[in-house]
Amino acid sequence: MKLHHFLPLVALGLVSCATPKNTPPASASQPGAAAKAPASGGTDALDDYGDTVVVSDPLEGLNRATFAFNDKFYKWVMTPISKTYTTIFPKPVRKSIDNAYENVKFPVRFVNSGLQGKFGRAGKEAQKFGVNTVAGVGGLFKVSDKIDSLKDVPAEDTGQTLATWGMGHGPYIVVPVMGPTTLREAVGSGGDYVLNPINWGFVFTGDADDWAWIPPTGNTIRAMPGQLDLYKEATANAIDPYTAVRSTYIQNRNAAAEQ
């Protein structure tokens, strides 16, 4: 079977993995907030002051150069696209779009809940998907938030599963355009990508052996405003934005793994 990959927006497609997945907000997302120790495994630790997560960063020189490039890319490319999106679509519409995309990502949360042995949580994810798909008009409305037992269910992903299984973060990496990650989270992102139906964008283009892959650009664009807000929050008033983003990212992923 022939598989033609159309990549006119590859860079934008990669951005969908750029920022923390389902990161816990509030105090955990603040650069100076108290960090929590990793759920298990690895060489991660807290520094002497107890408020910064220390991870292996053997490529710091290269990472800082990539971070500087990304900062300009976010400012001059992503921000204008994000502003155009928020101008065209009012907040209620954007909220419904976000709801629909998150509803489709049900397999990521369901499978990883099961892999972590959280079968009760997996059951709740299945209930949420059913309720939001049927009563929420295909997930446009998050009806499950009105049901006490189904609202605020922590979202699971492959990175959290690997943490639960005892895998440490490994080296910290800043990827061009995509942003911060670690070896563990990079592997986890691959698992999430495979499990996410949003990325199953294959269309038939002609004869029996001719298929095309359509990049999930829509998902990327709809996620930009929130991703940029997280980035600005982490770097605002930071003496060293690079360290602030690294600390924030690791704190968020550790907190997510502990939920």
Mean pLDDT, contiguous 10-residue spans, the chain (259 residues)? 38 42 37 35 39 82 98 96 95 95 96 98 98 96 96 96 96 95 96 90 60 66 91 92 95 93
Tokens of 121: 């949580």
Asked if residues 97 and 138 have their Cβ atoms less than 8 Å apart, the reply is no
CB 211 within 8 A of CB 225: no
Amino acid making up residue 229: D
Q: How many CB atoms lie within 10 A of CB 182?
A: 25
Q: Give the pLDDT score at 221.
A: 87
pTM: 0.77
So what's the pLDDT on residue 22?
Answer: 42
- Given this model, what pLDDT does residue 46 score? 39
132 close to 120: Cβ distance less than 8 angstroms: no
Which pLDDT value is given to residue 84?
A: 95
| 258 CB-contact burial (10 Å; exposed 0-12 / middle 13-18 / buried 19+) | middle
